Amino acid sequence: MSVTIHFLGPLRDMAGEDCRAVDAPLDWTGLLAVVGPEIAQQLNEARVNVACAGKVLSDKTTLNARDGDEVALLPPVSGG
Amino acid sequence: MHRDIRLLTDPFVPGSLIGPFTDACNGLGGVCTFVGEVRGDNNVEALELSHYEPLTLSGMEELADKAAARFDLIGLLMVHRIGRMHPDEPIVCVSAAAAHRRSAIDAVDFCMDHLKSAAWFWKRELRAGKWSWIEPRAGDYADLSRWK
């Protein structure tokens, strides 16, 4: 039973991988704990967004990912 | 409104998109097309655009909805590359067809400003064998604020 975390843009380099499967369910505290301090610090910045199951969360601290959900960590976009 | 919204993983020829697009836009009085290409300045060897499948294309569709609601358009084409590109290759092509020029020109300007600063793309460039991520530019946010 798992949630897949996707690391986008520069967060991919920090994570050293595109994605990682972790135990479900996953909330905000669990996410910060599982990604490690460097990425957790980024996630605490307002300019980094989080999406769950294809929707960007208006308040990322309400994250409540269930089994099978994708959680995407979205740093600021650098444009098309 | 006729719409053609796509993400492409391979190089494309913008000119080849415009003919079929305008053919599908009956009654148009004007077409405005913008093509963005990879700049080769500052010794850039390659550019790589990454995206997030569940958000990027649906975000472009939402942008097309906003453009359709805001401007009087007959058709809108928005094609964006992802993956690795080299200098002089097209990255983006936006074309708008309308009965009158102002709607077409403004719709392209609107879509480009949103694609540059509010679409789900991350860009990094290769110089002297080293990749570096491109940070958002203040100017892009200023461009976007023109439409608020």
CB pairs under 8 A between A and B: 65
Which of B7, B47, B52, B117 should we substitute to test contact with A (largest number of A Cβ atoms within 10 Å)?
B52
- Residue A68 in contact with partner chain B when CB distance is under 8 A: no
**Which residues lie across from A56 on neighbouring strands?**
A51
- pLDDT value at residue B136: 84
- The answer to whether the Cβ–Cβ distance between B50 and A78 falls below 8 Å is no
Q: B103: closest CA among B92, B95, B91? A: B95
In whole angstroms, what is the distance from residue B34 CA to residue B114 CA? 14
The CATH class of A2-74 is: alpha beta
Instruction: For residue B41, name the pLDDT band (cuts at 50, 70, 90).
Output: confident
Provide, as residue numbers in chain B, all residues whose Cβ is less than 8 Å from the Cβ of A8: 50, 52, 120, 122
Which chain A residues are within 8 Å of B115, Cβ to Cβ?
A: 79-80
Q: Which residue of B has its CA nearest to A50?
A: B55
Reported ipTM: the value is 0.92
Residue tagged 């540059």 (tokens): B116
A72 has pLDDT over 90: yes
**pLDDT number for residue A79:** 67
Nearest C-alpha of chain A: how many angstroms from B101? 25
Which chain A residue's Cα is nearest to B144? A79
Contact A76 B136 (CB under 8 A): yes
Of the partner residues B54, B55, B136, the one whose CB lies closest to the CB of residue A79? B136
CA-CA distances (angstroms) from residue B101 to B65, B73, B96?
19, 10, 9
Rg (CA), chain B: 16
C-alpha distances (whole Å) from A50 to each of B8, B55, B65, B115 are 25, 11, 23, 19
At B127-143, the pLDDT tens digits run 999 999 998 888 888 88
Q: Which domains does chain B have, with CATH numbers?
A: 2-143 (3.90.1170.40)
Q: Which amino acid is at A35?
A: V
pLDDT tens-digit profile of B54-66?
999 999 999 999 9
- Of chain B, the percentage scoring pLDDT greater than 70 comes to 100
pLDDT confidence of A80, banded at 50, 70, 90?
Answer: low
Taking residues A39-49, report their average pLDDT. 97
Mean pLDDT, chain B, integer: 96
Q: Which residues have C-beta within 8 Å of that of residue B62, sequence separation ≥ 6?
A: none
Burial annotation B11-50 (CB, 10 A radius, 16+ → b, else e): ebebeebbeebbeebeebeebbbbbbebeeeeeeeebebb
Cβ within 8 Å of residue B76, ≥6 positions away:
B1, B2, B3, B4, B5, B64, B67, B68, B94, B95, B96, B97, B107, B111
Q: What whole-number percentage of chain A has pLDDT above 90? A: 95
Q: How confident is the model at residue B94, as a pLDDT?
A: 98
What's the CA gap between B142 and B130, in Å, rounded? 30
CB-based contact (8 Å) between B54 and chain A? Answer: yes
pLDDT in tens, A3-35: 999 999 999 999 999 999 999 999 999 999 999
User: Searching chain A, which residue's CA lies closest to the CA of residue B123?
Assistant: A78
DSSP class of A79 = -
| pLDDT exceeds cutoff 80 at A1 | no
Spatial neighbors of A71 by CB under 8 A, at least 6 apart, are: A3, A4, A5, A6, A26, A31, A50, A51, A52, A63, A65
CB B47 within 8 A of CB B91: yes
